[in-house]
Structure formats: structure tokens, C-alpha cells
Structure 1
Amino acid sequence: MSVVVVTGSAGLIGSEAVAYFAERGHEIVGIDNNFRQQFFGADASTEWNRLSLASRFPRNYTHVAADIRDADAMSELFAKYGKKIALVIHAAAQPSHDWAASDPQMDFTVNANGTLSILEATRRHAPEAVFIFTSTNKVYGDAPNELPLVELETRWEIDRAHPYWEGIDERLRIDQSKHSLFGASKVAADVLVQEYGRYFSMPTAVFRGGCLTGPNHSGTKLHGFLAYLLKCTVTATPYQVFGYKGKQVRDNIHSHDLVSAFDHVFQSPRCGEVYNAGGTRFSNCSMIEAIALCEEISGRKLVWTYTETNRIGDHIWYISDMAKFRAHYPGWTQQYDLRSLTQEMFDKNVDRWLAESERERAGV
């Protein structure tokens, strides 16, 4: 039985990866110390997800509550499994560009130094393992905002004649733009993963995600846009929209679709590849459109306010072009569109969200 190591194993992408590969008979080693709770507060804790994974996969899931920045601990852990490790999915991160400004040291060490620790542990103890990294579209900084956009009734949009009509591809520059400190730390990690692939001939792949989402997302104010928006709609929690008239566009990819893309790379790896990964034209929305969809699915009205001040480095319009990935892996298909993934998030979480909200109001 081959070993799959997943960092951030109780988070959105990590937990999806754990379930996906555990169900296919692999031994899973999950690394997660619930830093998400430290970053964003108790409502962002992933402990519920860790307990769920332990219950679902008692025979082939081992949880390790360790800090990925601890290079010695990571090396010791990887040495324990050695060349049995066939795949490493590095999904652990400080994921918010808003939070990063409050503690740049923590943000950079988690995102950059933590990635270096996992890369080195892999190179020293399992150099043939496929290494997959969840990067972000924030590595492009605010360069997408230079695109010629047109204001429509509910969204900003790009002209159909523009080369990026189908979405932004990997040729967009990643420097000479404002990234936010989070974006800068992820650039460092992104380039490190590429370099280990090219310099050491390791089978590495970088996925620059748009909005990643799904039912396992512990959405919170500073991270997890669609999950948090839906949760606020369900629980009557006030929500604030920042800038761009609420017409900023995001593409949303379901965590299962992303992890199935990981599997295609695992089955046929390359060295040092970079792929944009998002909902594409198949699954995208503006903030205003997302609010309407959440209200429709939940049967409730969202209480929300608007401020003209947009978040630093925020994109006005971002849709991913996955043509490069599809060319390399034509067997991959995207299953979840915006409505189906939002409906699934509602169906699987509504009771838990309402129960949590009741406990909060009761002061329990």
C-alpha cells in the first residue's frame, strides 16, 4: 500500500484529498495543527473535519498534529515512511491576504518556509514521490485589474474578442504588481516548488487556484468567500461587500474537481509544471450574483452592507483558463457548476451552521 502525505489535511482541499485517496486504498498521513483556528477564530476551526476523517477512515488515516515549519519534525516524519511515499499534496497555508498584513512574519514562515520544509523532506526521503502544491491566483497580484473590463448590470466582464475571454492563463506576469503580503509569500512558495522540479528533476506541479470551495470549507470572514457567504445567509449573520459595486467576478471550483485533477497528475507526472485551476467559464459569479444564488438556495435573505473600499490586491475580474491542464490531461472533467456546488454546501452544512449559531446566541 503506497503512502499519500497530505498537509492541511483537515482543511478544504486537504480533507477532500484524504477522502479521495483513502477511498482508493492508499495509506494516508495527514499533517494539520489547526492553525486555521489561530488565524481566524473558533468558528474557522477544522477540528470537526479532523474528527470526521478519523471516523470515516480508521484503518488507513493517521493524523499528525505538527507544524510544517519544523524542518526537523518533517524530516523525521518523512523518514519514517521513506520511499513508500508515492504522493505529497501540500495544501497547508495561511490563506488570507487580509490576515497576512496583521502578522507578516507568521504568514511568510507558514507559506514559504513551511513549503521549503515539506519540499526538502520529500527530496531527502522520497525523491520520486509526486509533489503537488496548492498555490493561488494571488501570485499574479493585481495585474488582472489592468484588463479592459466592461461594466454590466450584475458583473464586470471582459470583451469576447479579448484573448482572455475564456479566462486568464499561466502566461500572465507574476511580478511588477501589488500582491498583498499573502500573495508575495505564496509567490515564494510557488517558485520554490517549480525550482525543485526543474533543478532536482522532481515530479512537482503547482496549481494556482481561483476560489476553491466545497462542503468541507470552514468558511470565515477573512477566507472562504462562497462558504462564508452562504453561512451568513443561512444564519442571518451580517455580511459586508468590499468595493467594485459588488460586481467583482470570481470563478469557483469544487474541491473534488480539483483533487481529481491532482490524481491525473499523480498518474502521469511531469517536472516543474504550473497550472491555473478554477471554475473557468463553467462555474463563476459576481458577488451580487452569488448573493442572489445563496438567497435562492437557502430561502432566506442576506443582511448585507457595502463599502467603497476594496481589499488591497483584490481582483475585479478573475476567471481561470485551464486549457493547458486540459491539453496535458484530456481525460479530466469538471463535474460541479456553481449551482450544484452551492446546493451541496447548503445540504451538507445547513443543520450544523444553524446549531452553531444557536449555541453562539445562547452563549454556550
Structure 2
Amino acid sequence: MTIILVTGSAGLIGSESVRFFCDRGYTVVGIDNNMRQTFFGENASTKWNRDLLLEKYEERYIHHNIDIRDREAVTKLFQDYGTDISLIIHTAAQPSHDWAARDPYTDFTVNANGTLILLENTRQICPNAVFIFCSTNKVYGDKPNFLPLIEQEWRWEIEETHPYSVGIDETMCIDQCKHSLFGTSKVAADVLVQEYGRYFDMKTASFRGGCLTGPSHSGTELHGFLSYLMKCTMLGKPYRVYGYKGKQVRDNIHSYDLVNAFYHFYQAPRIGEVYNIGGSRFSNCSILEAIQECEAIAEKKLNWSYEEVNRSGDHIWWISDVRKFQQHYPGWNLTYGIKNIIKEIYIQNTSRWN
């Protein structure tokens, strides 16, 4: 039997991974203890998503309510499935800048220690398995904010002649900058994943994503940009924009496109790789542009306000250069643009949010 192990399996990327691999006939073992509700409150609970997966894939999906920081429980699970585990997709995380500053101990133990526990069990029990880590562009800290950016009417941009005009690639330094405590814990995990690959010759990869999005996101104010923005638009809830005149730019990648990238890596894995992954120039927007799209699709006005102080370490402009991954895996392409993503979030959540 071939087992796909997914951590954070009821979250956005985790649940997309479950669906993707179950639909292709694999048996998927999920780890998720709904820590997102602990982080962000009842409205961020992923229980609804977990229940949908169990109902739809009752013969292919096996769920475990385990905390990835629990060494004994994680080790027992790895021992139970042994070398049948051929792929680990690690998406479980504390994902918020602001929350990390409130409780640095929990943030670091979840993001860094939890990743170490998973890597070591992979090395000891199923060393031939592929290990994919859902990292973040926050490993680059605020370095992107020192690029020569140009203010336009609706967004910040970079000169077309700049080397990063296509997007920021993996050569950007991660040192000597402000990361936020969240970014720091993810740096630790990211480097661990690389080192286990290089030091122990394991098939590992860190995918450094920007805004990961899709209809399965349990978006909240502190995490889940497009999902939460559309939710506020639909329900008439107030939305706050923090700093940079609302012109800060993010590339947004649909959860399906990201998991499809994981699948391509799984089919032809490499050792200790790092990839910037996101919507690139194919799928990106500023907050002001995203507000316009949400209002047009929902046919409602968003009740939003502006605060001049930006979130510490937040990016003014981020677009990923995905050409390295495309060169390694030319069969992979982005399929979801911003309008498609926002419209799908609206359609698939209308009954749940209204």
C-alpha cells in the first residue's frame, strides 16, 4: 500500500492535498487537531472541512487527531504505517505574524519543533519518502521592502528593467532583516528541511509560498486574505486595511495549483530543494484591486477602513518568480487567475456564510 501523509489535513492546503491524492486512488492519512480554532477562534475552525473529507473519502481518508509537537504520538503513527509512507506533505503551522508575537513559545514549537519531529521520524522510519514542506515567503523578512518600488494609482510596482520585475527568485538573501517571529520560526523549519535533504540525502523540498488561497480557506482577520475579504464583503462585516495605502501587492496561488506542484515534485523528487511558489505575474493584486473584484462579484460594497500603521515586517510588494520550478518541472502551469479565484470563493461559500 502507498500512503500519503498530510499534516494540517483539514486546512486549506492540507484538505486540497487530501482531495487531490484521494481522487487519484491513493490512501491518505491526515493529521489535524484543529489548532486553527485555538489560534483564531471558533469562526476559523476547520472541523467543517474535516467532516466533508471523511464523508466524501470514507474509504481512502484516515484522520488522526494528533498534535505534531507530540513526539510519542507522531512516532507511533509513523511506526504504524512504516515504509508504506511514500510522501509527507507538511502544511500544519501557526501562520500569523500577529499571533506569533502574542505567544512566541507556541509559535516556535509548532512551526520549528513540529517540523523537526516529522523530519526525524521520516529519516528513521521511511527515509525513502518524499518530504514536502509548505514554507513561506516570510523567510525573506522585509528585504523586499527595500526594492526600488514605484507608487501607482492602485498598487505598488517595480521597474520593468529591474532583475526582479518578473518576480522575486530564490537568490534573495534571508539574513540581516526583520522577519517577524512567525517568519523566524518558519525560517528554522525551512532550513531544517533543506539540511535533512543535504545532510542525510533525503528527498526534501521547501515551497516558499506567498498568499495561498482557495474556497476551502477558513479565513480570519489575521490569516486568509482573499477568503476573509470576500467573507466581509458578503456579510457586511467591517474590514481593516493596514498601511501602504492599501496598495500592497500579493501574488495569490490557488490551493489546487500549489498541490499540483507538490505532485510534480513527488513524481521526480530532488534533494534539499527550495522553490519560490505563488501566482507570479499570472495571478496577483493589491488590496485595493482585490476589494474592487470582491465588490463586483458579490454585488455589495465592502465596509472597510484604513489604518496608517502597517503590520511589522509586512511586505509592500511580493510577486514570486516561479521559473526555477517551471524549469525543473515544465509540465506544471498555473491555471487560476485572481478573478477565477475570488469568484470560486464566492460561489462555493455562499451557502456556508449566508
What TM-score does the superposition give when structure 2 sets the normalisation length?
1.00
Aligned to 1:218: 218
Aligned to 1:266: 266
**SS of 1:285 mapped into structure 2:** strand
Task: Give the whole-Å Cα distance in 1 for the aligned partners of 2:67 and 2:175.
Answer: 29
Residue correspondences, number = 354
Deviations 1:256-284 (A, max 9, x none): 00000000000000010000010000000
Aligned to 1:192: 192
Aligned to 1:48: 48
Task: Give the whole-Å Cα distance in 1 for the aligned partners of 2:306 and 2:350.
Answer: 25
Aligned to 1:2: 2
Aligned to 2:92: 92
Residue identity in the other structure for 2:194: Q
Does residue 313 of the first structure (1) align with residue 335 of the second (2)? no
Aligned to 2:38: 38
Deviations 1:210-267 (A, max 9, x none): 1000010000010001100010000000000000000000000000000000000000
Task: Give the whole-Å Cα distance in 2 for the aligned partners of 1:305 and 1:181.
Answer: 27
**SS of 1:212 mapped into structure 2:** strand
- What are the within-5 Å matches in structure 2 for residues 203-352 of structure 1? 203-352=203-352
Aligned to 2:168: 168
**SS of 1:101 mapped into structure 2:** helix
Instruction: Using the TM superposition, give the Cα deviation of residue 71 of structure 1 relative to its aligned residue in structure 2, in angstroms.
Output: 1.3
**% identity of equivalent residues:** 65
Instruction: Using the TM superposition, give the Cα deviation of residue 302 of structure 1 relative to its aligned residue in structure 2, in angstroms.
Output: 0.2
Deviations 1:160-200 (A, max 9, x none): 00000000000001111000000000000000000000000
Instruction: Using the TM superposition, give the Cα deviation of residue 60 of structure 1 relative to its aligned residue in structure 2, in angstroms.
Output: 1.0
Task: Give the whole-Å Cα distance in 1 for the aligned partners of 2:72 and 2:267.
Answer: 30
Residue identity in the other structure for 2:347: D
Aligned to 1:361: none
Deviations 1:72-107 (A, max 9, x none): 211110011111001000000000011100000000
Does residue 156 of the first structure (1) align with residue 156 of the second (2)? yes
Q: Which runs of 5+ in 1 are unaligned?
A: 355-364
Aligned to 2:144: 144
Aligned to 2:12: 12
**SS of 2:134 mapped into structure 1:** strand
Instruction: Using the TM superposition, give the Cα deviation of residue 209 of structure 1 relative to its aligned residue in structure 2, in angstroms.
Output: 0.3
Does residue 102 of the first structure (1) align with residue 102 of the second (2)? yes
Task: Give the whole-Å Cα distance in 1 for the aligned partners of 2:334 and 2:180.
Answer: 30
**SS of 1:336 mapped into structure 2:** coil
Aligned to 1:116: 116
Aligned to 1:360: none
What TM-score does the superposition give when structure 1 sets the normalisation length?
0.97
Q: Point out 4+ residue stretches in structure 1 off by more than 3 angstroms.
A: none
Q: Which runs of 5+ in 2 are unaligned?
A: none
**SS of 1:344 mapped into structure 2:** helix
Task: Give the whole-Å Cα distance in 2 for the aligned partners of 1:123 and 1:22.
Answer: 25
- CA RMSD of superposed structures (Å): 0.5
Aligned to 1:134: 134
Deviations 1:95-151 (A, max 9, x none): 001110000000000000000011111111110000000000000000000000000
Task: Give the whole-Å Cα distance in 2 for the aligned partners of 1:76 and 1:42.
Answer: 30
**SS of 2:281 mapped into structure 1:** helix
Instruction: Using the TM superposition, give the Cα deviation of residue 46 of structure 1 relative to its aligned residue in structure 2, in angstroms.
Output: 0.1
Residue identity in the other structure for 1:185: S
Residue identity in the other structure for 1:289: E
Instruction: Using the TM superposition, give the Cα deviation of residue 333 of structure 1 relative to its aligned residue in structure 2, in angstroms.
Output: 1.1
Residue identity in the other structure for 1:265: F
Task: Give the whole-Å Cα distance in 1 for the aligned partners of 2:51 and 2:135.
Answer: 26
Instruction: Using the TM superposition, give the Cα deviation of residue 350 of structure 1 relative to its aligned residue in structure 2, in angstroms.
Output: 1.4
**SS of 1:301 mapped into structure 2:** coil
**SS of 2:198 mapped into structure 1:** helix
Instruction: Using the TM superposition, give the Cα deviation of residue 152 of structure 1 relative to its aligned residue in structure 2, in angstroms.
Output: 0.3
**SS of 2:102 mapped into structure 1:** coil
Aligned to 2:23: 23
Instruction: Using the TM superposition, give the Cα deviation of residue 288 of structure 1 relative to its aligned residue in structure 2, in angstroms.
Output: 0.3
Residue identity in the other structure for 1:331: G
Task: Give the whole-Å Cα distance in 2 for the aligned partners of 1:126 and 1:24.
Answer: 22
Aligned to 1:359: none
Aligned to 1:72: 72
Deviations 1:33-76 (A, max 9, x none): 00000000000000000000000100011100011011121111
